[in-house]
Amino acid sequence: MATALEERIYRTGKWLYELIEGESPSIFKKEYWSGKVIEWCMKDEKFKVQMFRFIDVLPYLTRTESVVQHLNEYFCGPDGSAPPVLQWGIKGMGLMSFTSKFMAQSIAENIKNMGKLFIAAETPQEALPVLEKLRKDGLAFSVDLLGEAVVSEAEAEEYQRRYMELLDTLGEAQKSWTPLGDGSGNLDWGYAPMINVSIKPSAMYSQMRPQAFDYSVDQARERLRPILRKAVSMGAHITLDMEHYELKDMTFALFQRLKEEPEFREYPEFGIVIQSYLKSSEEDCKRILAWAEKNKMRIPIRLVKGAYWDAEVIWARQKNWPIPVFTRKAETDARFEKLAALLLQNHQRVYFACASHNIRSISFVIETAKDLKVPHSAYEFQILFGMAEPVRNALRKAGLPLRLYTPIGEMIPGMAYLIRRLLENTANESFLRLSFSEGKSIDELLKNPLELINTRESKKPAAESEATLPPFKNEPPTDWTVEANRRSFASALREVRKSMPFQAPLIIDGKKIKTEEIIESRNPNSFSEIVGVASKANGSHAQKAVEAAWKAFPSWGDTPPERRAEILIRAAEEARKKRHFLAALQVLEVGKSWSEADADVCEAIDFLEYYAREMIRLSRPRRMGDVPGEISELFYEPRGVALVVAPWNFPLAISTGMTSAALVTGNTVVYKPSSQSAITGYMMVTLFEKAGLPPGVLNYLPGPGRIIGDHLLRHPLVHMIAFTGSKEVGLHIIAQAAQTPPEAQHVKSVIAEMGGKNAIIIDSDADLDEAVVHVLHSAFGYQGQKCSACSRVIVLEENYDRFVTRLKAAAESIEIGPVEDPRFFMGAVIDEGAQKKIMEYIEHGKKDGKVLVMKTPEKGAEGGYFVPLTIFTDLPPDHRLCQEEIFGPVLVVIKARTFDEALDIANGTAFALTGGVFSRSPQNIEKAKKAFRVGNLYINRGITGAIVNRHPFGGFKLSGIGSKAGGPDYLLQFMVPRNNVENTMRRGFAPDIDFSDL
């Protein structure tokens, strides 16, 4: 049967191709400007990148000068490869010359026209004639409202309003329409509503986060319900679009929960989308079918291939998650057919929309539907507006029910959509490209994708020898879209709470010592809760701890580096085993949100895995020079006893980073955790204990800095200090440690990571969809209690009002409350002292500047150290709020006239830790890379969350001394270099003369 079916599919495909009659999609037509551009994009990857980026930024450029400027930067730089065919000849021209302006305008016009290929109109009202023309041509539509990313509840509400308006407009218009085909009433072809609208769930709620799965879904549900209700009232069809993988399960849940509501349960015109490029698509599809069966519902399902392929691959690889999409096109095509068949089989429950431009896929559906005797009223075909016109025409000629997915919206928000379409057209495996541009043979194009699936086994890495570690990979953060993970985290929180209060005695020389004086560690979000009780060391304990570490040093220092690295790897394994427990403890002990706590544990694991490998790398002596008769080797050795003084804000990660670096390099450690995170610090020590670290090598010594800290700083047996914390304490440590006591046999070395006063610059061409979200994340993630946090945002005046408006709305949408509940993005600050200090800063700000946002926590936050999320404007750049580290959720917006001025302001503090720039000007990006002098500069992304190995972290000026954590120079600081030179010539004879260069 398969063969007979295949044959029919082939024949139908051939027939459809014949109907195309050699027509080509306008996007490929080389006689048009867009065709030429597309051709060059397909030829030249570099040009494609620049072109897509230029298209992306173009709508933001309000002045012709900016267009000229950007054209120059994108295409006329040393890297710019303007193909001669474009002939814009701007290079070398005066920027403001008439010719260059004229050229720029014409190019901008061309690109806007390209946009119009795919976007029907800017408003529903303007779209009406287009839609009516479509209907006149026998084509149905599904309207989608394009919009900027929804970063605030205000924007979500606006979106909702626009959809209501759209429905009203269409409802009014349809009165004059006649159904397509044999339709009657308001039904095209007799079974499909004339009004068909697609809605993106991400537009319905601005704070959608899988951690707060149910809450997010319910918030979106509230906003979608009125739209759906209106659709029901007018018999319109609504499809809930499917976006990124991260939103997939929330989208299904949103759909199902709404559909289960009594008023919608019976309504057959509320549908969903399945993306066949997802590896999970079959399972999802079956689950939905089973649910529909169980509820006796009929649901419309649009089957697509999927439009976010590039991004899904990148995101997954960046997070080290399994890639959720198929990486071979044929797999997606095969899955499409499999699911199409499944949906057609279930035509009693499913109204099936086959959304593809692929003639093979279409033919498969036509013939399978015939095979399964699916009634015509159970399926339709969909393609995108402006794409694949020849396919459209062929399907129409073939008399098939065809609907165009038709976006409406402005250019700016339309760009993301346009680029997705261009990507689709220019991708190497694009069906359209292969069909219409590359002229692949029809036989090839109509092949069963199963045949094309390369059957070779994916390369498995060769079995690693036990001696060598596999290459370093970052620990994947928890994927909150997986329900099991959410459950596991919630259960870890319960487990932690059950064990409270934890007990943390001192650990000196492997012995646990309980002291009478204690440190209470409390939940910042609920300060009546005692998370744990740690012992409190005094000077005499400090003395004993140093002695224990010094006693353990000779044997640990001489332990082979590979063995020391093994201990780190085992500690990482221990941490992995209880990662949710460790993260949950942080939620309760230091008030981190789920994600922040999870990221901290990942980073701790990363440090262990990375430094283990770094040590193995550095343990190989480097041969120096190349003369015969001599072997000269450079290598590194531990220093001795390291004092690690750790902060509470990354209570596991930074402690583990500094400690593991000290340990793996062969030093022994006296570890003083912050009192605020003494319990998490204790947990770190137990990880190393479980990993088999010998007693005395790591000593746990919580206690007051002014007593034990100073005792240790002056101690002649302390060889080095690794510190992360405030500038004040850091400078004190540096000054103290440099006073070499007379009995010392070395100079103490200090690594100090201190504060920051980090700025993000918003250029006049910045993508605000991205900028607003990342600024807020960078400024208010963990309540701004990160040395890397953004506390100044410097906005070019051209963009100032738009940015500030969106920022304000988005900031006001942030939910504040006890972060144990994952719906809260922001929680309490660490303690009363912090609360008081931050409130003082806010008072200063109120006095001297303007409050843009001051959002207080929701009810239920009375028992925690909460402060309002605060954004100021109109403060001078040298104001103390713009100069001093606040370490809380306080952000200042500063206006700058030029990019250079913005850089000056950004650089104008005593700190140099992190910084950010949102810009789409290659020239400004390059300028910032050079002149925005901070330890870690981030372009077009947030400025917190440095990842081990990918982003070696640390600053200079008063932000720190020493080289970057999680980077290739870091371990060197924990060691002294040595050089052994052996004269290998004896009696005139040496073993290794190399004659090759004589």
297-336 residues near its own copies, rule: CB under 8 A: 308, 310-311, 313-315, 317-318, 323, 327
Pick between residue 332 and residue 813 the one whose CB is nearest to its own copies: 332
Which pair of tokens denotes residue 551?
């006693």
User: Quick one: which of 735, 801, 833, 897 contacts its own copies (CB under 8 A)?
Assistant: 735
412 binds its own copies, rule: CB under 8 A: no
The amino acid present at 79, given as its one-letter code, is D
Question: Dihedral, CA atoms, 675, 677, 679, 681, nearest 10 degrees?
Answer: -100
Residue 772 CB, nearest approach to its own copies (Å):
15
> What is the bridge-based pairing of β-strands 911-912 and 914-918?
unpaired
3-state secondary structure 556-615: HHCCCHHHHHHHHHHHHHHHHHCHHHHHHHHHHHCCCCHHHHHHHHHHHHHHHHHHHHHH
Residue 341 CB, nearest approach to its own copies (Å):
27
User: Is position 609 annotated as part of the catalytic site?
Assistant: no
Residue 519 CB, nearest approach to its own copies (Å):
30
Sequence-distant (≥ 6) Cβ neighbours of residue 536 within 8 angstroms: 515, 517, 518, 519, 702, 703, 704
Residue 454 CB, nearest approach to its own copies (Å):
12
User: Quick one: which of 504, 760, 809, 937 contacts its own copies (CB under 8 A)?
Assistant: 937
3-state secondary structure 676-730: HHHHHHHHHHHHHHHHCCCCCCEEECCCCHHHHHHHHHCCCCEEEEEEECCHHHH
User: Is position 882 annotated as part of the catalytic site?
Assistant: no
User: Quick one: which of 416, 445, 469, 569 contacts its own copies (CB under 8 A)?
Assistant: 416
How far apart are alpha carbons 440 and 593 in whole angstroms? 52
Pick between residue 280 and residue 963 the one whose CB is nearest to its own copies: 963
How many residues touch its own copies under the rule CB under 8 A: the total is 99
Beta carbons of 530 and 501 less than 8 angstroms apart:
yes
User: How many CA within 13 A on the CB side of residue 907?
Assistant: 13
How far apart are alpha carbons 844 and 875 in whole angstroms? 10
Pick between residue 95 and residue 314 the one whose CB is nearest to its own copies: 314
Pick between residue 134 and residue 415 the one whose CB is nearest to its own copies: 415
x/- mask, its own copies, residues 912-931, rule CB under 8 A, reads x-------x----x---xx-
Q: Which residues of 810-845 are buried (b: 16+ CB within 10 A; e: fewer)?
A: bbbbbbbbbbbbbbbbbbbbbbeebbebbbebbebb
**Which listed range, 150-158, 738-746, 804-812, 858-866, lies at the site for its own copies (CB under 8 A)?**
738-746
Residue 324 CB, nearest approach to its own copies (Å):
12
Pick between residue 255 and residue 326 the one whose CB is nearest to its own copies: 326
How far apart are alpha carbons 167 and 148 in whole angstroms? 20
Which pair of tokens denotes residue 970?
């870091």
Residue 750 CB, nearest approach to its own copies (Å):
8
The three-class DSSP label of residue 487 is helix
Beta carbons of 725 and 732 less than 8 angstroms apart:
no
Which uninterrupted H or E stretch holds 38?
helix 33-43
469 binds its own copies, rule: CB under 8 A: no
What does each C-alpha distance from 179 to 23, 173, 396 come to in angstroms?
28, 13, 16
Residue 504 CB, nearest approach to its own copies (Å):
33
- Residues numbered 620 to 649 that lie near its own copies (CB under 8 A) are 622, 624-625, 627-630, 632, 634, 637, 639
739 binds its own copies, rule: CB under 8 A: yes
393 binds its own copies, rule: CB under 8 A: no
x/- mask, its own copies, residues 544-583, rule CB under 8 A, reads --------------x-------------------------
847 binds its own copies, rule: CB under 8 A: no
Pick between residue 827 and residue 877 the one whose CB is nearest to its own copies: 877
Pick between residue 66 and residue 788 the one whose CB is nearest to its own copies: 788
User: Quick one: which of 423, 597, 605, 829 contacts its own copies (CB under 8 A)?
Assistant: 423
Pick between residue 520 and residue 900 the one whose CB is nearest to its own copies: 900
User: Quick one: which of 415, 534, 751, 893 contacts its own copies (CB under 8 A)?
Assistant: 415
Pick between residue 839 and residue 972 the one whose CB is nearest to its own copies: 972
User: How many CA within 13 A on the CB side of residue 51?
Assistant: 27
- Residues numbered 939 to 998 that lie near its own copies (CB under 8 A) are 939-941, 947, 949-954, 956-958, 960-961, 963-964, 967-969, 972, 976-983, 985-991, 993, 995, 998
Pick between residue 486 and residue 639 the one whose CB is nearest to its own copies: 639
Question: Dihedral, CA atoms, 120, 126, 127, 130, nearest 10 degrees?
Answer: -80
**Which listed range, 496-504, 737-745, 821-829, 840-848, lies at the site for its own copies (CB under 8 A)?**
737-745
517 binds its own copies, rule: CB under 8 A: no
Residue 429 CB, nearest approach to its own copies (Å):
11
Beta-strand (E) ranges in 146-232?
187-188, 192-193, 196-199
The three-class DSSP label of residue 890 is strand
Report the interhelical angle of 153-174 vs 797-813 (nearest 10°): 90
> What is the bridge-based pairing of β-strands 850-855 and 869-873?
antiparallel
Residue 534 CB, nearest approach to its own copies (Å):
31
- Partnered with residue 930 across adjacent β-strands are none
Residue 537 CB, nearest approach to its own copies (Å):
26
Residues annotated as catalytic are 753, 787
